[in-house]
Amino acid sequence: MIRINQLKLPIDHTREDLAHKISKELKIPEHNIKKIQIVKQSVDARKKDHILYIYTVDVSADKENQIIKKLKNPQISSAPLNKYCLPEYGSQTLAFPPVIIGDGPAGLFCGLILAREGYCPIILERGEAADVRRKKAEAFWMGEKLDLNSNVQFGEGGAGTFSDGKLNTLVKDPVQRNRKVLELLVEFGADPSVLYVNKPHIGTDVLGNIVSSMRQEIIRLGGEVRFSSQVTDFHIEKGRLTALEINGAEQLNLEAAVLAIGHSARDTFEVLEKRGVPMEQKSFAVGLRIQHPQTMIDISQYGPGNSKILGPASYKVTYQSRGGRGVYSFCMCPGGYVINASSEEGRLAVNGMSYHARDGKNANSAIIVTVTPEDFEGTGPLAGVAFQRKLEAAAFSYGKGKIPIQLYGDFQANKESREFGDIAPEFKGAYTFSNLKEMLPPYIGEAFIEGMEDFGRKIQSFNRKDAILAGVESRTSSPVRIPRNEFYESQIKGLFPCGEGAGYAGGITSAAMDGLRIAEEICRRYRPLK
């Protein structure tokens, strides 16, 4: 096929316009074009009165090599042929099926690949199925008691199930794992456009159905998915993992375990530390969620009226504070909600969530500030966990169990808010006015304000006084890393740290890609069970 880069068209173009443009670029009649495959679609919004789609497309036509040679255009070449492939099976024999601890993106995609290759994996998930945990989360938001094992953080699909379902990643991908992840998501129900749009998303409502369908496929192929099955201990003999304890009672013997716990599995981190599994402190970021009217973001990013074609706009802003800390937006949710994402009693954390339609009134994102081990109290591997817990306990206290909120102008003035401005709040979970500036460490609050003022120069009115803040956003990434060698194995033999909780991913797509990476290593070592 022929690949064409930098193909530019107006945002209101038709499929016929695209074919005509390709015909013009290749200098061939349209009837000679056999197939058009969109590889990438992005938006050039630098000129608000002339916004363009920019495409990369692969085109099938007669005499492709002759066309490329004749044109001598650096933007036109042969389409690359590289495709995702699994390695040849290894020679070792497994006495037990591989076990995957955690059913988030890393564990789920690892399990799906292994199931399709005949390894009959067992996935252990402390939470419940996606539809059940959704009901639990909604009940919690309405005031019922928090379920410590089935909530926004724990359960089928992981924390990403309650998010915007964003699929973009900055991970370099020479072996096409990213493409494979997207193809699998489409296979199980995602819109095919996620294969090529620049910033694809699924939406929390659709994502739950997709992960459930993937689970059913794993089971159909001979795998197991066990819910309400928390790993409570690790049996290690002579430096090798030999068995897992489940729910404090059952023992499951094994030879290979994929440690795909999420970034909030703090009690599991504690067990790992107790059993001598090497872990390290890791930098991460904390901050607050901010809400703006979605129409304000749309006009700033696209100009008036264009969001009707392009959909709700997103943004990404970054700043380096005078003190050297990074301040940046994270997990931006167009047309979304700020949600109570707590998973521990007496502690409160927030996150953002959008449905597929992204039709909420507000845009929200986390504005977060980097923290490093130098900010933590203590030197142990779980000092970052303690740092998070301290902030979350303060958030719970300041909000009296509800989400503590404050207007940005009052945050600057260091006083509790009393009433909303022109922005109507969009929350999942009860909320109350408080003083978030007082709640945060001074160095975080000062860097936050610096960043906000800079962002106000990049996006008009971003630093408006009535922007609604909510805290605390503390679960941006794992506070620990569980080291692994070049074969993705811990110092403890048979244990394969994987995904976001182990410190090797930062979002749905990168976690799923890491799950594929571990599945490849298991295939490389062992024969399938059937």
User: Residue 394 is part of which domain span?
Assistant: 283-473
**What is the rounded average pLDDT of the residues 489-515?**
96
Does 298 map to a domain?
yes
**What is the rounded average pLDDT of the residues 94-118?**
97
Task: Name the least confident of 144-153, 172-181, 355-364.
Answer: 172-181
**What is the rounded average pLDDT of the residues 358-365?**
96
pLDDT of 307 above 90: no
> Is 294 in the same domain as 342?
yes
Q: CA 162, 166, 169, 174 torsion: positive or negative?
A: positive
**What is the rounded average pLDDT of the residues 412-420?**
97
Number of structural domains found in the chain: 3
pLDDT of 441 above 90: yes
Alpha carbons 9 and 329: distance in angstroms, whole number: 30
Place of tokens 């973009």: 168
Backbone angles phi, psi at 71, to 5 degrees: -75, -40
Does 263 map to a domain?
yes
pLDDT band at 166 (very low <50, low <70, confident <90, very high): confident
Does 301 map to a domain?
yes
**What is the rounded average pLDDT of the residues 215-231?**
98
CB contact set of 184 (below 8 Å; sequence gap of 6+): 109, 112, 214
Q: What is the pLDDT of residue 23?
A: 96
Does 304 map to a domain?
yes
Domain-ending residue, one of 78, 112, 142: 78
> Is 12 in the same domain as 56?
yes
pLDDT of 373 above 90: yes
pLDDT of 171 above 80: no
Does 488 map to a domain?
yes
> Is 306 in the same domain as 268?
no
> Is 111 in the same domain as 167?
yes
pLDDT of 218 above 90: yes
Domain-ending residue, one of 446, 473, 500: 473
pLDDT of 165 above 90: no
Judge whether 412 and 283 are in contact, CB under 8 Å: no
pLDDT band at 174 (very low <50, low <70, confident <90, very high): confident
pLDDT tens string 477-497: 999 999 999 999 999 999 999
pLDDT band at 172 (very low <50, low <70, confident <90, very high): confident
Host H or E run for residue 106:
helix 105-116
Query: Which residue, among 293, 252, 277, has the nearest Cα to 468 in the 3D structure?
Result: 293
Q: What is the CATH number of the domain that holds 34?
A: 3.30.70.2700
Does 84 map to a domain?
no
> Is 411 in the same domain as 490?
no
pLDDT tens string 47-59: 999 999 999 999 9
> Is 242 in the same domain as 294?
no
pTM for the full predicted model: 0.95
Alpha carbons 352 and 434: distance in angstroms, whole number: 20
Does 510 map to a domain?
yes
Q: What is the CATH number of the domain that holds 169?
A: 3.50.50.60
> Is 456 in the same domain as 503?
no
Number of neighbouring beta carbons within 10 Å of residue 88: 8
> Is 438 in the same domain as 461?
yes
pLDDT tens string 193-216: 999 998 888 999 999 999 999 999
**What is the rounded average pLDDT of the residues 269-296?**
98
Alpha carbons 351 and 375: distance in angstroms, whole number: 23
Output the CA torsion 225→253→380→230 (10° steps): 30
**What is the rounded average pLDDT of the residues 444-460?**
97
Query: Which residue, among 151, 159, 377, has the nearest Cα to 260 in the 3D structure?
Result: 159
pLDDT band at 499 (very low <50, low <70, confident <90, very high): very high
pLDDT of 316 above 90: yes
**What is the rounded average pLDDT of the residues 278-305?**
96
Alpha carbons 177 and 99: distance in angstroms, whole number: 22
pLDDT tens string 241-273: 999 999 999 999 999 999 999 999 999 999 999
Query: Which residue, among 186, 362, 189, has the nearest Cα to 290 in the 3D structure?
Result: 362
pLDDT band at 14 (very low <50, low <70, confident <90, very high): very high
> Is 202 in the same domain as 260?
yes
- At position 487, the amino acid (one-letter code) is F
> Is 336 in the same domain as 238?
no
Q: What percent of the chain clears pLDDT 70, i.e. is strictly above it?
A: 100
Does 33 map to a domain?
yes
> Is 451 in the same domain as 383?
yes
Structure tokens at 97: 């099926």
> Is 122 in the same domain as 166?
yes
Exposure string of 454-482, with b = 16+ CB inside 10 Å and e = fewer, is bbbeebeebbbebbbbbbbbbbbbbbbbb
Q: What is the pLDDT of residue 410?
A: 98
**What is the rounded average pLDDT of the residues 420-443?**
98
pLDDT band at 136 (very low <50, low <70, confident <90, very high): very high
